[in-house]
Amino acid sequence: MEVILGLVIIGALLVMLGVDLFYILLGVMILLALALAATLLFFIFTAVRLVRSKRVSAAFSRIEKPEKGFSRAVYESSEGELVNSFPCEMIFRSRLYKPGRTETVLVSRGGGAYDRYSRITVVAGLMLGGVSMFWIARWLIFLLENVM
């Protein structure tokens, strides 16, 4: 929230200094493209870790609630406790995570575990991030070719 407020203040100051609104909007579009690129890189990195992971059968044990951060699912397997790398679902928690339910969990070399909900998140993030990146890049190219 503070970042958005800071950007609004910077934008207002630029308008007061006489900077053309087009250049302010172009800067906002470039910042948005950089944020989308960082998000897409995160999902690509996670997808590579998923591909290189090994499958393990594990039973859901509990939800871990750390002091800082998000709650994560914990699974019991032959390799010990596996803590999910992604936060657990908040809304449908009682329907999705049932104690004792056996699932296939992917375990990466770094020790992170990925349940099926994490895999769905990664696939959706890759698809939506790729489409978003394509459209914002196309819009930026259009702006730079036709307006400048």
Helix (H, G, I), strand (E, B) or coil at 99: coil
pLDDT of res. 38: 95
pLDDT of res. 148: 64
Extents of the domains making up the chain: 2-49+122-146, 53-114
| Of residues 40, 30, 37, 58, the one with CA closest to residue 116 | 58
- Which amino acid is it at 85? S
Residues near 69 by beta carbon (within 8 Å), at least 6 away in sequence: 87
pLDDT tens digits, the chain, 148 residues: what are they?
Answer: 788 898 889 888 988 999 888 888 888 889 889 999 999 999 999 999 999 999 999 988 888 888 888 888 888 888 888 888 888 877 877 788 888 888 889 998 877 889 888 999 999 999 999 999 999 999 888 888 877 6
